[in-house]
Amino acid sequence: MERGSATGEGARAPLRKRLERQRTAGEKSPPGGFRAALAVCFLLVPPVLLLQRWQAGPAPAWLFAADLPPEANRDIKDGVFDDLSPSAQIEYDRLLGGLLIEGFDERSCRSRYQFARYHKSERIPSPYLIERLRRQEALQKKCGPGTKSYRSAAEQIRSGQSINSTKDCNYVFLIIHAGLGNRMLEITSAFLYALLTDRILLVDRYKEIGDIFCEPFPGTSWLIPSDFPLSYDEFTLGSPESYGSMLQNNVISGNMYRSLASAKPPYVYLHLDGNYGFHDKLFYCEDDQQFLKGVPWLIIRTDMYFVPSLFLIPSYHEELSKLFPEKDTVFHHLGRYLFHPTNDIWYSVIKYYRTYLAKADKIVGIQIRVYEKKGILQRNGPFPHILEQILSCSQNEKLLPEIAGTDKAATTAGNNRTVAVLATSLSSWYSDEIRKRYSKHRTVDGTTVKVYQPSHEEYQKSRNRKHNMKALAEIYLLSMSDELITSGFSTFGYAAQGLAGLTPWIMYRSVNHVVPDPVCGRAMSIEPCFHQAPFYDCKAKRDTDLGKVVPYVKHCEDVSWGLKIVNRTRL
């Protein structure tokens, strides 16, 4: 999309115009005699050097089914891929405006410092956010796994003893269980809560987080140790350890702030999934936050982006305003800070981009998620009305050129412009049909449209490692688009738009196989939507419309009952 005119965000020239494709000549294999000599030398190499070479790792894996042309692999050398970057003359900010710091091993996580070369953001993090991130990094290192403080905190859970004072190291432990898009939203939400409450963020190590994301904090790990003393997978709605259950069963009551002022339990489970009940939702109330402040361990299970409700808690207003003067940049900044794809994923991202997308004058990302079903015994789709919705939105909003009725209707003189469409969907049918239409017919302005889709898994496999790796690669490819169309209600699309800092066009959900009217609309902000937001006014103690409490928290375009953060200056 043009960042453009509609939102005042400033136009962004197509990324391909800023890149220069690098090609290097292939190296010939050494002769047999030389190989024999090399083998002798290899045996004489000191073990420490062998270890260093082994640590460099094997050549990265290619995740997608499409075969790469031979020239695309010329930059794989010495068992690792070289710096697949644009020309050194192109200006970029490898530290993302100060979000990142130097000092990480670049070979172990190529994406951390290379992402800025393939995507330029117009949004600048505040100096206060940068300061708080540095403070959080120091806290994570001081209190993280393997430290004396962590061992002491874990032992407190084993003993079950209450405490009488707040220690320096308190924790938020996030149980991961949802699909990839949800995972990214819930991790971001938990991290912001950790920032606001001076807690250490730890995440579930058993849900492939270490396979898809690099460690974000220097000198420590954010993965919960394998000997964590609780069987947390058993926690769910109604668990006796949950805050909601303790309130509902009068384990703690209305006078809990007095009765438990001197002693707090070693941990509290917070059930914040979409099926949570009234008492669980009191987590978002000011008084309940004051009680939770003294609990050493908060164990959170959520599948949602609950950030908008944090903006409605009075004690956090000032801190959030300092962290995010542009209020609709929470996921954009924290997502770019936290999420760095591992090397196999990043390799597939940049190789796919450079091979198939980089030559285009403009890249239009189209994220397709279908929620309708044909019938109980039939698979989802394909649905012709969804295809028409995609084409209507992209052509009506001038993201893709219209197809000429006849060849005579097209005016192609001097137009060598190419638009690349990057489609992501569980089904390949939609991209195949779009490709057919643009290949069989000329466009009214002579623009060439090429359509690409990296994978089509047919159905979601949330517990499949390779499926999640492909999904993350596609989220990052979408984030490199110049314009973006997303499907309403989809957390996959939310993650892509947030990383990109692009205000997308949202395709509204169709009902009963009918194309909605309008087919799509421009989002109010780049922020994700909190789908299952509460509607309880904690101060008035009654239900209310929380989309009208403050001017920067509104109802979502695609989920009328949800909440999202907007920036008033950009409306």
How does pLDDT run along the chain (571 residues), one tens digit per residue?
A: 333 333 333 444 444 444 443 333 333 344 445 444 444 444 444 433 333 333 345 667 888 876 677 666 655 543 345 555 444 445 679 999 999 999 999 999 999 999 998 888 889 999 999 999 999 999 999 999 999 999 999 999 998 876 644 478 999 999 998 899 999 999 999 999 999 999 999 999 887 899 999 999 999 999 999 999 999 988 999 999 999 999 999 887 654 443 444 467 899 999 999 999 999 999 999 999 999 998 999 999 999 999 999 999 999 999 999 999 999 999 999 999 999 999 999 999 999 999 999 999 999 999 999 988 765 444 556 899 999 999 999 999 999 999 987 544 455 556 789 999 999 999 999 999 999 999 999 999 999 999 999 988 766 666 688 989 999 999 999 999 999 999 999 999 999 999 999 999 999 999 888 999 999 999 999 999 999 999 999 999 999 999 999 999 999 999 999 999 999 755 4
Q: Which region holds residue 15: left if phi is over 0, alpha if psi is between -120 and 50, else beta?
A: alpha
| pLDDT the model gives residue 167 | 72
The structural domains of the chain, with segments of one domain joined by +, span 127-338, 359-570
Find, among 90, 70, 122, 83, the residue nearest to 19 by Cα. Answer: 90
Report the alpha-carbon distance of residue 364 to residue 126 in Å, rounded: 30
Strand stretches in 343-470, DSSP E: 362-367, 418-424, 448-452
Report the alpha-carbon distance of residue 309 to residue 534 in Å, rounded: 8
Enter the tokens of residue 347. 């390799």
- The C-alpha R_g of the chain, in whole angstroms, comes to 25
Count CB-CB contacts under 10 A for residue 352: 26
User: pTM for the whole thing?
Assistant: 0.87
Q: What is the DSSP secondary-structure string of 162-221?
A: -BSS--S--EEEEEP-S-HHHHHHHHHHHHHHHHHHT-EEEE-TTSSHHHHB---STTS-
Distances from the Cα of 500 to the Cα of 83, 122, 339, 555, angstroms: 22, 10, 13, 22
201 in Cβ contact with 174 (< 8 Å): yes
| pLDDT the model gives residue 57 | 55
Find, among 212, 154, 150, 170, the residue nearest to 187 by Cα. Answer: 212
Torsion of CA 523, 526, 563, 276, to 10 degrees: 130
Report the alpha-carbon distance of residue 480 to residue 350 in Å, rounded: 10
Torsion of CA 487, 492, 494, 499, to 10 degrees: -130
